[in-house]
Chains A and B, each alone.
Chain A
Amino acid sequence: MKVGATLRLNSIRVAYNGKVILKDVSIQVRPGEILALVGPNGAGKTTLIRTASGVLSPIQGQVQVNDRDLQQLSTVERAKWMAVVPQARQLPATFSVYQTVMLGRTPYLGWLGFPKKEDEEIVQQVLVRTQLDTLAHRRIGELSGGEQQRVLLARALAQNTPILLLDEPTAHLDLHHQALILKLVQQTVKECGLAVLLAIHDLNLVSLYADRVALLVNGHLQREGKPAQVLTKQEIENAYGVEVELLDHPHLSAPFIIPRSNGSLERIAYVG
């Protein structure tokens, strides 16, 4: 595996269907840290992830991996530097878990996708690590949403890249599976020095798992820093238009955010 890579977005401007979605956003993710990307719906989180992964190209600015422009890397080369965990939607139901995770080895496989001994060992390790080894021969269509999301995480881990991008991997998951996914990511970051960019909605999960937070509002990078610095009452109310209260987590030095129930309906509807 390539070790330690820094992902840089240098004042990127991204348009999609003729509309400018991201305006001069600069972000840096260093090895060994999780940068959470938060912001209201439509702020441009998914667009940012897609741009960082090379699916969209910025009309201005660059995406860099260790000072190399992403555009200059070949598709295979890029897939050895960064892996993406998408949301588990519309997966081909008849693929087995093992087969799906093995697809993570794509950039390393030869003609016809024959796996080598090494590929099989890596997939096996990843399956154990993500607690999927007992489900290896099940079809992914038979799995729960949480299990499917873990399969996609496992596939990205099998890709063995120094950079990992996750697009709302905890959406629609129950408490147990949310924690499981994020703990797995956190563990891997600490052990392997991954640089992780994580788009996520749940601000409390951000407090618990992220090292830094970038708050995106209307395609602008509003604020960036440690969770306690960014997730202030003021910033959240401005960004989301909802009145909130911040509490201290009983066991950790992390802010905990709860919405105030007596906020007026118009203001909540505005966010919707």
Chain B
Amino acid sequence: MKATTVKPFGDVRPYLVNGLALALALCFSVVVGAVWIPLQTMVRLLAALVLPVDLSDVPTAYQTIVHNVRLPHAFLMALSGAALASSGAAYQGLFRNPLADPYLIGVASGAGLGAVIALAFHWPATLGGWMVVPLAAFGGALLTVLLVYRLAKVNQSLPTTTLILAGVAVSSFATALTSFIMLRSRDELYRAMAWLLGGSTVNGWTPVWAAFPYILIGFLVLWSLSHALNVLQFGEEQAHQLGIAVERAKLLLILAASLTTATAVSFSGLIGFIGLIAPHTMRLIWGPDYRRLLPLSALGGSCALLLADLLARVALAPQVLPVGVVTALAGAPFFLWLLRRAKSELIW
């Protein structure tokens, strides 16, 4: 039997499946909303993005809703989902712990704190102003992850118990500080609360354009290190002996994963469990090779967050639930299932 390699692009099926799912999720997300727009009109409005379609008989309200509200919102959700899922996959690989999720290890809360501090300074709502927030969130995320890593490390490994405990403790601390700052700036309270629970309160394309470069750069750095992530699954010592500059790879991974998480948190709030659900589902279906796992998790995370957002908008319509509530409702049981599996197979 001649063995062949799993090449990152050797098999296009997973990309096709996930890409198709993402396209569908995007369509659903744009079609469904508080105002029902006839499908025919919807198709014309979407076609107008790429084709010269005459829209003179379409009410401008419809145009605004689709082009300036629903589409950018859908894209922001897709970007955030991709960011959370790919950084979740990277943290899991880096810490060699299946339960590492940006939310559970406290990185998201740290990013939230950074973002709230930045928001308290009332940056102008321009593209430049919006691009400052992720940087502050990045600082918060980085501090948290390094703190949690130091606290949780036992000799050369990162046991689940200490990782989650350190994550919870640091996360509570960051959240308390965040609440404190929010209470000090009363006028902003509602907006900040809604944002923190994962309700995107800003509309239009500006946040999408502000988020896109950070998430793209973060993702590309993570992806370029996917072979190192594969080797790191055998432990740092073996990775070193196989020719990986371990410390440099770890540093870059932490920087890039924290940047993508921080950007997602800056624009979509604290959304948990996407970083667990998407990568693990992809692992189960397509295997553990990070060269494929990272892009597939990004696509899967986009789908998952778009669907959660859709549910959040229709479940109690016209009231809109924070999307973080939906992901937690679906994600927490998934986490428990994973914990049971990890307990029997890997850790204890």
Check B240 against A127 for contact (C-beta < 8 Å): no
Which of A55, A96, A114 makes the CB contact (< 8 A) with B240? A55
Q: A122 within 8 Å of B by Cβ?
A: no
Partner-binding segment picked from B130-138, B197-205, B283-291: B283-291
* Binary B-proximity of A66-104 (CB < 8 A = 1, otherwise 0): 000000001110111011101000111111101110111
> Cβ of B243 and Cβ of A106 under 8 Å apart?
yes
**Residue numbers in B under 8 Å from A112 (CB-CB):** 8, 223-224, 226-227, 291
Q: Are A84 and B1 in contact (CB under 8 A)?
A: no
**Alpha-carbon separation in the docked complex, A103 to B4 (Å):** 14
A124 touches B230 (CB 8 A): no
Give chain B nearest CB distance to A91 CB in angstroms.
7
Q: DSSP class of B's interface residues: helix, strand, loop or mixed?
A: loop
| Residue contact A113 to B237, C-beta cutoff 8 Å | no
Judged by a CB distance under 8 angstroms, whether B47 is at the interface is no
Cα distance A155–B238 when bound, in Å?
Answer: 11
Nearest chain A CB to B252's CB is how many angstroms away?
Answer: 14
**CB of B216 closer than 8 Å to a CB of A:** no
In the bound complex, how far is the Cα of B224 from the Cα of A75, in angstroms?
A: 18
Interface residue? B183 (CB, 8 A)? no
Determine if B234 and A91 form an interchain contact, defined as CB atoms under 8 angstroms apart.
yes
**B3 touching A92 by the CB < 8 A rule?**
no
Q: Are B243 and A107 in contact (CB under 8 A)?
A: yes
Q: How far is the CA of A8 from the CA of B8 in the complex (A)?
A: 40
Query: In chain A, what residue has the closest Cβ to B225?
Result: A112
Does any Cβ of B come within 8 Å of A220's Cβ?
no
* Cβ–Cβ contact B3 & A124, under 8 A: yes
Contacts of A90 in B (CB 8 A): 235
CB of B2 to closest CB in A, whole Å: 7
Closest Cβ of chain A to B111, distance in Å, is: 28
**Tally of A interface residues using CB under 8 Å:** 45
Q: Is the beta-carbon distance between B240 and A54 smaller than 8 angstroms?
A: yes
Which residues of chain B have C-beta atoms less than 8 A from A134's C-beta?
1
Chain A residues 103-121 with CB under 8 Å of chain B are 103-104, 106-107, 109, 111-115, 120
B11 in contact (CB, < 8 A) = no
| Total chain B interface residues with beta-carbon distance under 8 A | 33
Q: Are A92 and B1 in contact (CB under 8 A)?
A: no
Chain B: minimal CB distance from A245 (Å): 39
Contacts of A113 in B (CB 8 A): 226-227, 230, 291
Find out whether the CB atom of B244 lies under 8 angstroms from the CB atom of A106.
Answer: yes
Does the CB pair B3–A133 fall under 8 Å? Answer: yes
Q: Shortest CB–CB separation between residue A95 and chain B, in angstroms?
A: 6
Task: Tell me which residues across on chain B come within 8 A of A55, comparing CB atoms.
Answer: 237, 240-241
Q: Is A159 an interface residue (CB 8 A)?
A: yes
| Closest partner residue, chain A, to B247 (CB atom) | A75
A133 to B4 Cα, complex, angstroms: 11
> Contacts of A75 on B, CB cut-off 8 Å?
240, 243-246
**Chain A hits for B238, CB < 8 A:** 84, 86
CB-CB under 8 A from A62, the residues of chain B are none
Assess whether A27 is interfacial by the CB under 8 Å rule.
Answer: no
Q: Nearest Cβ distance between residue B248 and chain A, in whole angstroms?
A: 9
Contacts A112-B8, A112-B224, A114-B7 given; indicate if A103 touches B289 (C-beta within 8 A): no
Question: Which residue of B227, B233, B240, B246 contacts A95 across the interface (Cβ within 8 Å)?
Answer: B233
Contacts of A53 in B (CB 8 A): 240-241
CB-based contact B230/A136 at 8 Å: no
Given A109-B227, A114-B8: A103 in contact with B288 (beta carbons within 8 A): no
* Any A CB within 8 A of the CB of B53: no
Cα A92 to Cα B233 with chains together (Å): 6
Residue B231 lies at the interface, judged by CB distance under 8 Å to chain A = yes
A141-B251 Cα distance, complex, nearest whole Å: 29
**What's the Cα separation between A74 and B244 when bound, in Å?**
10
- Can you list, as one digit per residue, whether each of B208-235 has a CB less than 8 Å from chain A (1) or not (0)? 0000000000000001101100110111
A190 at the interface (CB under 8 A from B): no
B3 touches A127 (CB 8 A): yes
Q: Are A99 and B243 in contact (CB under 8 A)?
A: no
Q: Which residues of B contact A127 (CB under 8 A)?
A: 3
Over the window 1-41 of chain B, the binary record of Cβ atoms lying under 8 Å from chain A Cβ atoms (1 yes, 0 no) is 11111111000000000000000000000000000000000
Residue of B nearest to A83 (CB): B241
For residue A137, which residues in chain B have a CB less than 8 angstroms away from its CB? 1, 3
Q: What chain B residues lie within 8 Å of A93 (beta carbons)? A: 345-346
Shortest Cβ distance from A95 into B: residue: B288
4 more A-B residue pairs beyond the given contacts A50-B237, A99-B289, with a C-beta to C-beta distance below 8 A: A82-B241, A92-B233, A103-B234, A120-B5
Spell out B's residues near A (CB within 8 Å).
1-8, 223-224, 226-227, 230-231, 233-235, 237-238, 240-246, 283, 287-289, 291, 345-346
A-B contact pairs, 20 of them (CB 8 A): A54-B240, A55-B237, A55-B240, A84-B241, A86-B238, A91-B234, A92-B233, A95-B288, A96-B287, A99-B5, A106-B243, A106-B244, A112-B223, A112-B227, A112-B291, A115-B7, A133-B3, A134-B1, A136-B3, A159-B242
